[in-house]
Amino acid sequence: MELAIKYGEQTERIKLSDKILLKTLSGNSHLIYEDLTPAINDLRGAVKDFLSDTQSCLIITNDYTRPTPTETVLSFLEPEIRKKDLFFLVALGSHRFPNEDEFIKIFGRFYPEWKERIICHNAKDNQTLKFIGKTSFGTPVYFNEALLRFKKIIVINSIEPHYFAGFTGGRKTFLPGIAGYQTITFNHKLSLSPKAKTLNLTDNPVSIDMEEVAEMVPRPVFSIQLVIDQKKELRHLTFGELKRSFYSGVEKAKEIFCLPIEKPFDCVLAVVREPYDCDLYQSQKALENAKLGAREGGIIILVSPCRKGVGDDEFIRVMKKGKTPAEVISEIEKNFVLGAHKSAKLAELVKNFEVLTVVPIEEEIINSLFMKRMATVQEAIDYCERKLGKTFSLLYLPDASLVTPLITNARC
Protein backbone atom coordinates (compact mmCIF):
# COMPACT_ATOMS: atom_id res chain seq x y z
CA MET A 1 0.00 0.00 0.00
CA GLU A 2 0.99 3.63 -0.47
CA LEU A 3 0.87 6.55 1.93
CA ALA A 4 1.30 10.24 1.03
CA ILE A 5 3.35 12.02 3.68
CA LYS A 6 3.07 15.81 3.48
CA TYR A 7 5.62 17.88 5.34
CA GLY A 8 6.67 21.43 4.64
CA GLU A 9 6.21 22.20 0.95
CA GLN A 10 6.70 18.63 -0.22
CA THR A 11 4.80 15.37 -0.32
CA GLU A 12 6.62 12.04 -0.22
CA ARG A 13 4.79 8.92 -1.34
CA ILE A 14 5.99 5.89 0.55
CA LYS A 15 5.35 2.19 0.00
CA LEU A 16 4.31 0.04 2.92
CA SER A 17 4.07 -3.71 3.13
CA ASP A 18 0.44 -4.87 3.07
CA LYS A 19 1.23 -6.81 6.23
CA ILE A 20 1.90 -3.66 8.25
CA LEU A 21 -0.87 -2.87 10.73
CA LEU A 22 -1.48 0.83 10.03
CA LYS A 23 -3.58 3.29 12.03
CA THR A 24 -3.85 7.00 11.27
CA LEU A 25 -4.65 9.43 14.06
CA SER A 26 -5.40 12.87 12.67
CA GLY A 27 -8.17 14.45 14.71
CA ASN A 28 -11.61 14.11 16.22
CA SER A 29 -13.47 14.86 12.99
CA HIS A 30 -16.70 13.42 14.41
CA LEU A 31 -17.08 16.26 16.89
CA ILE A 32 -19.91 18.64 16.09
CA TYR A 33 -18.85 22.23 15.50
CA GLU A 34 -20.16 24.73 18.01
CA ASP A 35 -22.04 27.78 16.83
CA LEU A 36 -19.70 30.40 18.25
CA THR A 37 -21.90 33.38 17.34
CA PRO A 38 -23.54 33.67 20.79
CA ALA A 39 -20.15 33.37 22.50
CA ILE A 40 -18.65 36.05 20.24
CA ASN A 41 -21.52 38.43 20.98
CA ASP A 42 -21.19 37.75 24.70
CA LEU A 43 -17.43 38.31 24.44
CA ARG A 44 -17.91 41.76 22.90
CA GLY A 45 -20.31 42.74 25.67
CA ALA A 46 -18.00 41.42 28.37
CA VAL A 47 -14.99 43.30 26.95
CA LYS A 48 -17.06 46.48 26.72
CA ASP A 49 -17.96 46.17 30.40
CA PHE A 50 -14.37 45.33 31.38
CA LEU A 51 -13.00 48.44 29.65
CA SER A 52 -15.84 50.77 30.64
CA ASP A 53 -13.84 52.59 33.32
CA THR A 54 -10.55 53.03 31.44
CA GLN A 55 -9.35 54.69 28.24
CA SER A 56 -6.20 52.58 27.83
CA CYS A 57 -5.62 48.86 27.62
CA LEU A 58 -2.76 46.41 27.15
CA ILE A 59 -3.51 43.32 25.07
CA ILE A 60 -1.04 40.45 25.54
CA THR A 61 -0.76 38.08 22.58
CA ASN A 62 1.01 34.82 21.86
CA ASP A 63 4.10 34.79 19.68
CA TYR A 64 4.83 33.28 16.26
CA THR A 65 5.46 29.77 17.62
CA ARG A 66 1.80 29.30 18.56
CA PRO A 67 -1.16 28.73 16.22
CA THR A 68 -3.37 31.15 18.19
CA PRO A 69 -5.74 33.00 15.78
CA THR A 70 -5.01 36.42 17.30
CA GLU A 71 -6.19 38.34 14.23
CA THR A 72 -9.57 36.58 14.41
CA VAL A 73 -10.07 37.60 18.04
CA LEU A 74 -9.04 41.19 17.32
CA SER A 75 -11.67 41.21 14.56
CA PHE A 76 -14.28 40.08 17.09
CA LEU A 77 -13.25 42.86 19.47
CA GLU A 78 -12.64 45.59 16.90
CA PRO A 79 -15.82 47.62 17.58
CA GLU A 80 -14.88 47.93 21.27
CA ILE A 81 -11.10 48.14 21.33
CA ARG A 82 -10.89 50.82 18.63
CA LYS A 83 -12.42 53.22 21.13
CA LYS A 84 -9.44 52.77 23.45
CA ASP A 85 -5.78 53.78 23.57
CA LEU A 86 -4.38 50.35 22.74
CA PHE A 87 -0.97 48.77 23.12
CA PHE A 88 0.08 45.18 22.50
CA LEU A 89 2.67 43.07 24.29
CA VAL A 90 3.92 39.98 22.46
CA ALA A 91 4.55 37.24 25.03
CA LEU A 92 7.81 35.90 23.65
CA GLY A 93 9.00 34.17 26.80
CA SER A 94 12.63 33.40 26.02
CA HIS A 95 12.03 33.16 22.25
CA ARG A 96 13.77 35.45 19.77
CA PHE A 97 12.37 38.72 18.38
CA PRO A 98 9.85 38.19 15.52
CA ASN A 99 10.64 39.14 11.93
CA GLU A 100 8.21 41.06 9.71
CA ASP A 101 6.48 37.94 8.38
CA GLU A 102 6.01 36.63 11.90
CA PHE A 103 4.48 39.89 13.06
CA ILE A 104 2.00 39.62 10.17
CA LYS A 105 1.32 36.02 11.14
CA ILE A 106 0.36 37.18 14.63
CA PHE A 107 -1.58 40.37 13.85
CA GLY A 108 -2.65 39.87 10.22
CA ARG A 109 -4.40 42.87 8.67
CA PHE A 110 -4.01 44.88 11.88
CA TYR A 111 -0.22 44.88 11.81
CA PRO A 112 0.40 47.85 9.46
CA GLU A 113 -1.94 50.07 11.46
CA TRP A 114 -0.85 49.06 14.95
CA LYS A 115 2.80 48.09 14.52
CA GLU A 116 4.01 51.22 16.33
CA ARG A 117 1.98 50.12 19.35
CA ILE A 118 3.50 46.66 19.62
CA ILE A 119 5.94 45.90 22.43
CA CYS A 120 8.02 42.71 22.30
CA HIS A 121 8.94 41.10 25.58
CA ASN A 122 12.65 40.58 26.18
CA ALA A 123 13.22 38.21 29.09
CA LYS A 124 16.89 39.21 29.37
CA ASP A 125 16.39 42.99 29.43
CA ASN A 126 16.54 43.69 33.15
CA GLN A 127 15.70 47.36 32.62
CA THR A 128 12.21 46.38 31.44
CA LEU A 129 11.56 43.90 34.25
CA LYS A 130 9.86 44.50 37.60
CA PHE A 131 10.25 42.21 40.62
CA ILE A 132 6.88 41.20 42.09
CA GLY A 133 7.67 38.53 44.68
CA LYS A 134 8.28 34.78 45.01
CA THR A 135 6.11 31.69 44.61
CA SER A 136 5.87 28.87 47.15
CA PHE A 137 8.41 27.00 44.99
CA GLY A 138 10.89 29.82 45.48
CA THR A 139 10.56 31.12 41.93
CA PRO A 140 11.49 34.84 41.82
CA VAL A 141 8.78 36.59 39.80
CA TYR A 142 9.83 39.30 37.36
CA PHE A 143 7.27 40.73 34.92
CA ASN A 144 7.63 43.03 31.93
CA GLU A 145 7.11 46.51 33.37
CA ALA A 146 4.63 47.34 30.57
CA LEU A 147 2.15 45.33 32.60
CA LEU A 148 2.21 48.03 35.28
CA ARG A 149 1.62 50.95 32.92
CA PHE A 150 -1.98 49.98 32.22
CA LYS A 151 -5.03 49.69 34.44
CA LYS A 152 -6.59 46.82 32.51
CA ILE A 153 -5.06 43.77 30.79
CA ILE A 154 -6.59 41.53 28.12
CA VAL A 155 -4.85 38.25 27.29
CA ILE A 156 -5.44 36.16 24.17
CA ASN A 157 -4.20 32.58 24.34
CA SER A 158 -4.94 29.10 23.03
CA ILE A 159 -5.07 25.75 24.77
CA GLU A 160 -3.54 22.47 23.65
CA PRO A 161 -1.60 19.67 25.37
CA HIS A 162 1.93 20.60 26.45
CA TYR A 163 4.68 18.11 27.15
CA PHE A 164 5.71 19.38 30.59
CA ALA A 165 3.19 22.10 31.57
CA GLY A 166 0.25 19.74 30.97
CA PHE A 167 -1.50 22.24 28.69
CA THR A 168 -0.64 25.54 27.06
CA GLY A 169 -2.84 28.57 27.56
CA GLY A 170 -4.11 30.47 30.58
CA ARG A 171 -1.34 31.10 33.06
CA LYS A 172 1.37 30.61 30.42
CA THR A 173 0.70 34.15 29.16
CA PHE A 174 2.52 35.39 32.26
CA LEU A 175 5.02 32.57 32.71
CA PRO A 176 6.93 32.13 30.50
CA GLY A 177 5.19 34.70 28.26
CA ILE A 178 6.15 38.02 29.87
CA ALA A 179 8.39 36.79 32.68
CA GLY A 180 12.07 37.44 33.25
CA TYR A 181 14.73 34.94 32.23
CA GLN A 182 15.46 34.06 35.85
CA THR A 183 11.76 33.43 36.49
CA ILE A 184 11.50 31.15 33.46
CA THR A 185 14.65 29.26 34.44
CA PHE A 186 13.45 28.57 37.99
CA ASN A 187 10.07 27.40 36.72
CA HIS A 188 11.39 25.22 33.93
CA LYS A 189 13.75 23.42 36.28
CA LEU A 190 10.60 21.98 37.85
CA SER A 191 10.03 20.15 34.55
CA LEU A 192 12.63 17.58 35.67
CA SER A 193 9.89 16.14 37.89
CA PRO A 194 8.22 13.00 36.47
CA LYS A 195 4.89 14.69 37.24
CA ALA A 196 5.66 17.43 34.71
CA LYS A 197 4.11 15.74 31.69
CA THR A 198 1.51 15.99 28.96
CA LEU A 199 -2.12 16.45 30.16
CA ASN A 200 -1.22 16.57 33.87
CA LEU A 201 -2.39 19.65 35.78
CA THR A 202 -3.36 18.25 39.18
CA ASP A 203 0.07 17.68 40.77
CA ASN A 204 2.32 19.11 38.07
CA PRO A 205 4.82 21.46 39.79
CA VAL A 206 5.44 23.45 36.59
CA SER A 207 1.75 24.23 36.12
CA ILE A 208 1.12 24.94 39.80
CA ASP A 209 4.05 27.37 39.88
CA MET A 210 2.71 29.08 36.74
CA GLU A 211 -0.71 29.46 38.36
CA GLU A 212 0.84 31.07 41.42
CA VAL A 213 2.70 33.51 39.18
CA ALA A 214 -0.49 34.40 37.30
CA GLU A 215 -2.23 35.11 40.60
CA MET A 216 0.49 37.67 41.39
CA VAL A 217 -0.41 39.90 38.42
CA PRO A 218 -1.19 43.28 40.04
CA ARG A 219 -3.82 44.35 37.50
CA PRO A 220 -7.33 43.19 36.54
CA VAL A 221 -7.03 40.58 33.78
CA PHE A 222 -9.66 39.66 31.19
CA SER A 223 -8.83 36.26 29.73
CA ILE A 224 -9.76 35.03 26.25
CA GLN A 225 -8.94 31.34 25.77
CA LEU A 226 -9.33 29.59 22.44
CA VAL A 227 -9.32 25.97 21.40
CA ILE A 228 -8.45 25.29 17.78
CA ASP A 229 -8.37 21.88 16.16
CA GLN A 230 -5.71 20.14 14.08
CA LYS A 231 -6.99 21.94 10.98
CA LYS A 232 -6.34 25.28 12.74
CA GLU A 233 -10.09 25.98 12.91
CA LEU A 234 -11.56 27.69 15.96
CA ARG A 235 -13.70 25.19 17.87
CA HIS A 236 -14.27 26.77 21.26
CA LEU A 237 -14.10 30.16 22.93
CA THR A 238 -14.14 30.85 26.64
CA PHE A 239 -13.49 34.11 28.46
CA GLY A 240 -13.58 35.96 31.76
CA GLU A 241 -11.48 35.28 34.86
CA LEU A 242 -8.13 33.70 33.91
CA LYS A 243 -8.16 30.43 35.86
CA ARG A 244 -11.83 29.66 35.29
CA SER A 245 -11.69 30.34 31.55
CA PHE A 246 -8.51 28.26 31.24
CA TYR A 247 -9.91 25.16 32.93
CA SER A 248 -13.12 25.46 30.93
CA GLY A 249 -11.05 25.46 27.75
CA VAL A 250 -8.96 22.51 28.94
CA GLU A 251 -12.04 20.27 28.97
CA LYS A 252 -12.78 21.10 25.33
CA ALA A 253 -9.10 20.67 24.41
CA LYS A 254 -9.19 17.15 25.84
CA GLU A 255 -12.12 16.30 23.56
CA ILE A 256 -10.28 17.56 20.51
CA PHE A 257 -6.67 16.52 21.08
CA CYS A 258 -6.90 13.26 23.07
CA LEU A 259 -7.43 10.47 20.54
CA PRO A 260 -7.90 6.86 21.67
CA ILE A 261 -5.76 3.85 20.78
CA GLU A 262 -6.24 0.35 22.14
CA LYS A 263 -2.57 -0.45 22.74
CA PRO A 264 0.92 0.96 22.04
CA PHE A 265 2.42 0.56 18.56
CA ASP A 266 5.78 -0.83 17.44
CA CYS A 267 6.46 2.33 15.47
CA VAL A 268 5.05 5.86 15.42
CA LEU A 269 5.46 8.08 12.34
CA ALA A 270 5.26 11.65 13.65
CA VAL A 271 4.97 14.47 11.10
CA VAL A 272 5.36 18.04 12.34
CA ARG A 273 3.18 20.76 10.83
CA GLU A 274 3.25 24.55 10.98
CA PRO A 275 4.03 26.42 13.22
CA TYR A 276 5.92 23.77 15.19
CA ASP A 277 7.93 22.69 12.14
CA CYS A 278 10.02 25.88 12.18
CA ASP A 279 12.98 24.25 13.94
CA LEU A 280 14.11 21.16 15.82
CA TYR A 281 13.58 22.85 19.19
CA GLN A 282 9.85 23.31 18.52
CA SER A 283 9.54 19.96 16.71
CA GLN A 284 10.36 18.13 19.92
CA LYS A 285 6.73 18.59 20.99
CA ALA A 286 5.81 16.02 18.35
CA LEU A 287 8.21 13.49 19.86
CA GLU A 288 6.60 13.91 23.26
CA ASN A 289 3.18 13.16 21.80
CA ALA A 290 4.50 10.29 19.69
CA LYS A 291 5.99 8.48 22.68
CA LEU A 292 2.50 8.20 24.20
CA GLY A 293 1.55 5.94 21.29
CA ALA A 294 4.74 3.84 21.14
CA ARG A 295 5.58 0.71 23.07
CA GLU A 296 8.61 0.71 25.35
CA GLY A 297 11.67 0.15 23.17
CA GLY A 298 9.71 0.96 20.01
CA ILE A 299 10.71 3.25 17.15
CA ILE A 300 9.64 6.85 16.57
CA ILE A 301 10.15 8.51 13.19
CA LEU A 302 10.26 12.32 13.39
CA VAL A 303 9.56 14.15 10.12
CA SER A 304 9.95 17.93 10.06
CA PRO A 305 11.19 20.51 7.51
CA CYS A 306 12.93 22.50 10.30
CA ARG A 307 13.10 25.52 8.00
CA LYS A 308 15.10 27.51 10.53
CA GLY A 309 17.41 24.70 11.52
CA VAL A 310 18.04 23.72 15.10
CA GLY A 311 16.48 26.76 16.79
CA ASP A 312 17.62 27.35 20.35
CA ASP A 313 20.80 25.26 20.28
CA GLU A 314 21.37 25.34 24.05
CA PHE A 315 19.63 21.98 24.40
CA ILE A 316 22.06 20.46 21.89
CA ARG A 317 25.06 21.82 23.77
CA VAL A 318 23.73 20.23 26.94
CA MET A 319 23.12 16.88 25.21
CA LYS A 320 26.78 16.75 24.23
CA LYS A 321 27.83 16.72 27.89
CA GLY A 322 27.11 13.02 28.28
CA LYS A 323 28.14 9.88 26.44
CA THR A 324 24.77 8.30 27.19
CA PRO A 325 21.26 9.67 27.81
CA ALA A 326 21.58 8.70 31.49
CA GLU A 327 24.77 10.76 31.82
CA VAL A 328 23.03 13.73 30.20
CA ILE A 329 20.16 13.57 32.68
CA SER A 330 22.57 13.38 35.60
CA GLU A 331 24.52 16.40 34.35
CA ILE A 332 21.33 18.45 33.90
CA GLU A 333 20.20 17.71 37.44
CA LYS A 334 23.55 18.99 38.73
CA ASN A 335 23.80 22.15 36.61
CA PHE A 336 20.44 23.29 35.24
CA VAL A 337 20.26 26.08 32.65
CA LEU A 338 17.29 27.24 30.57
CA GLY A 339 17.00 25.00 27.54
CA ALA A 340 18.19 22.01 29.55
CA HIS A 341 14.58 21.01 30.22
CA LYS A 342 14.38 20.15 26.52
CA SER A 343 17.54 18.09 26.82
CA ALA A 344 16.25 16.26 29.89
CA LYS A 345 12.97 15.29 28.25
CA LEU A 346 14.75 14.29 25.04
CA ALA A 347 17.37 12.26 26.91
CA GLU A 348 14.63 10.44 28.80
CA LEU A 349 12.85 9.75 25.51
CA VAL A 350 15.85 8.43 23.55
CA LYS A 351 16.75 6.27 26.54
CA ASN A 352 13.43 4.43 26.13
CA PHE A 353 12.80 4.63 22.36
CA GLU A 354 14.81 4.51 19.14
CA VAL A 355 14.34 7.77 17.24
CA LEU A 356 14.83 8.18 13.49
CA THR A 357 14.71 11.67 12.01
CA VAL A 358 13.90 12.97 8.55
CA VAL A 359 15.12 16.54 8.98
CA PRO A 360 17.51 18.83 7.04
CA ILE A 361 20.02 19.00 9.87
CA GLU A 362 23.60 17.72 9.85
CA GLU A 363 24.00 14.06 10.76
CA GLU A 364 26.65 14.93 13.35
CA ILE A 365 24.15 17.05 15.27
CA ILE A 366 21.45 14.38 15.07
CA ASN A 367 23.88 11.71 16.28
CA SER A 368 24.87 13.91 19.23
CA LEU A 369 21.21 13.76 20.27
CA PHE A 370 21.37 9.93 20.28
CA MET A 371 19.10 9.76 17.22
CA LYS A 372 19.61 8.52 13.66
CA ARG A 373 19.24 10.65 10.53
CA MET A 374 17.40 9.27 7.50
CA ALA A 375 17.35 10.91 4.06
CA THR A 376 13.68 10.11 3.38
CA VAL A 377 10.61 8.76 5.12
CA GLN A 378 10.83 5.69 2.90
CA GLU A 379 14.36 5.00 4.15
CA ALA A 380 13.09 5.21 7.73
CA ILE A 381 10.20 2.82 7.00
CA ASP A 382 12.57 0.38 5.29
CA TYR A 383 14.80 0.51 8.37
CA CYS A 384 11.81 -0.37 10.55
CA GLU A 385 10.88 -3.29 8.31
CA ARG A 386 14.40 -4.69 8.54
CA LYS A 387 14.43 -4.33 12.31
CA LEU A 388 10.82 -5.19 13.18
CA GLY A 389 9.79 -7.44 10.30
CA LYS A 390 7.02 -6.78 7.77
CA THR A 391 4.14 -7.24 10.20
CA PHE A 392 4.92 -4.44 12.65
CA SER A 393 2.23 -2.03 13.82
CA LEU A 394 2.52 1.59 12.67
CA LEU A 395 0.76 4.63 14.11
CA TYR A 396 0.75 7.59 11.71
CA LEU A 397 0.33 11.08 13.19
CA PRO A 398 -0.01 13.62 10.32
CA ASP A 399 0.05 16.52 12.80
CA ALA A 400 1.96 15.07 15.72
CA SER A 401 2.40 18.30 17.67
CA LEU A 402 -1.37 18.63 18.06
CA VAL A 403 -2.49 15.02 18.52
CA THR A 404 -2.15 13.20 21.82
CA PRO A 405 -2.57 9.41 21.59
CA LEU A 406 -4.34 8.04 24.62
CA ILE A 407 -4.48 4.34 25.43
CA THR A 408 -8.14 3.55 26.12
CA ASN A 409 -7.56 2.36 29.69
CA ALA A 410 -5.78 5.62 30.53
CA ARG A 411 -7.50 8.81 31.67
CA CYS A 412 -7.35 12.06 29.74
pLDDT in tens, 170-179: 999 999 999 9
Q: What is the pLDDT of residue 411?
A: 58
pLDDT digits (tens, 9 = 90+) for 116-151: 999 999 999 999 999 999 999 999 999 999 999 999
Number of DSSP helices (H) and strands (E) in the chain, helices first: 13, 20
Q: What is the pLDDT of residue 353?
A: 98
| Domains of the chain (ranges, CATH numbers) | 2-29+262-407 (3.90.226.30), 37-256 (3.40.50.11440)
Q: Taking the CB of residue 378, how many other CB atoms lie within 10 A of it?
A: 17
Q: Three-class SS of residue 97?
A: coil
pLDDT of residue 23 exceeding 60, the answer is yes
- Give the Cα separation of 152 and 165 in Å (integer): 27
The alpha carbon dihedral of 299, 305, 309, 314 has a sign of negative
Confidence of residue 190 (pLDDT cuts 50, 70, 90): very high
Please state the rounded mean pLDDT for residues 5-22: 94
pLDDT digits (tens, 9 = 90+) for 295-332: 999 999 999 999 999 987 777 888 888 999 999 999 99
For residue 299, the one-letter residue type is: I
Confidence of residue 294 (pLDDT cuts 50, 70, 90): very high
Confidence of residue 85 (pLDDT cuts 50, 70, 90): very high
Confidence of residue 29 (pLDDT cuts 50, 70, 90): low
Q: What is the pLDDT of residue 33?
A: 76
Strand (E) or helix (H) holding 330: helix 325-334
- HEC readout, 22-60: EEECCCCCCCCCCCCHHHHHHHHHHHHHHCCCCCEEEEE
Work out the angle at residue 302's Cα, subtended by the Cα atoms of residues 299 and 304, and round it to the nearest 5 degrees.
Answer: 170
Please state the rounded mean pLDDT for residues 18-28: 89
